[in-house]
Amino acid sequence: MNMAVDALPVMTAPPEKAYFKNKEFSGTSENDADKTKKITDSVSQFFKAYYEQNQTQIDYFLVDGADIKGAGQKFSFNKIDRINIYKLSDKEFLAIVDLNIDSFGNSIKQGFNLTVVQEGDKFLVKTLEPRTSNIDLNNKSNESVKLL
């Protein structure tokens, strides 16, 4: 098991090392309630597969060419505690996710940034990055937000 630690530990797929790169982000909150619900549902199903299922099930939630390995079926996905969705383009979104998993009866908080792409009526994961920086989530306006 590999770990990247900034504030919350992040479990990543063995045996590869976690990779992260800080970058600037400018985007606006997604305001379409139906689209936000569909993205949230897709992300929740992806994380259930990521933590609990084999690679074939994980690949179902990925865009073609995405190389995201699961956490080795060693954890149980509990729930998403918080998700903020930002529109990058008409069909591409940034989902900032705080979630909770179980490891041998212990609750572990996780934080990820995902790029999600709409393909038809599906929302698929393009990238998964451990949370290494925070975005100003207190910005309640529909203005652009900046990576801190």
Mean pLDDT by runs of 10 across the 148 residues of the chain is 63 65 70 95 98 96 95 94 94 96 94 96 95 55 44
- What is the rounded CA–CA span in Å between residue 49 and residue 57? 6
Question: Is residue 9 a part of any domain in this protein?
Answer: no
Question: Is residue 104 a part of any domain in this protein?
Answer: yes
Residue 18, pLDDT score: 59
Determine the structural domain holding residue 99 and report its residue range. Answer: 28-130
Question: Is residue 53 a part of any domain in this protein?
Answer: yes
The CATH number of residue 88's host domain is: 3.10.450.540
Question: Is residue 147 a part of any domain in this protein?
Answer: no
Q: How many domains does the chain have?
A: 1
CB 43 within 8 A of CB 61: no
130 CB-contact burial (10 Å; exposed 0-12 / middle 13-18 / buried 19+)? buried
- What is the rounded CA–CA span in Å between residue 131 and residue 96? 8
- What is the rounded CA–CA span in Å between residue 13 and residue 2? 7
Pairing of strands 145-146, 26-29: antiparallel
Residue 135, pLDDT score: 57
Question: Is residue 37 a part of any domain in this protein?
Answer: yes
Cα-atom radius of gyration of the chain, to the nearest Å? 15
Question: Is residue 69 a part of any domain in this protein?
Answer: yes
Residue 20, pLDDT score: 58
Question: Is residue 87 a part of any domain in this protein?
Answer: yes
State pTM to two decimals. Answer: 0.75
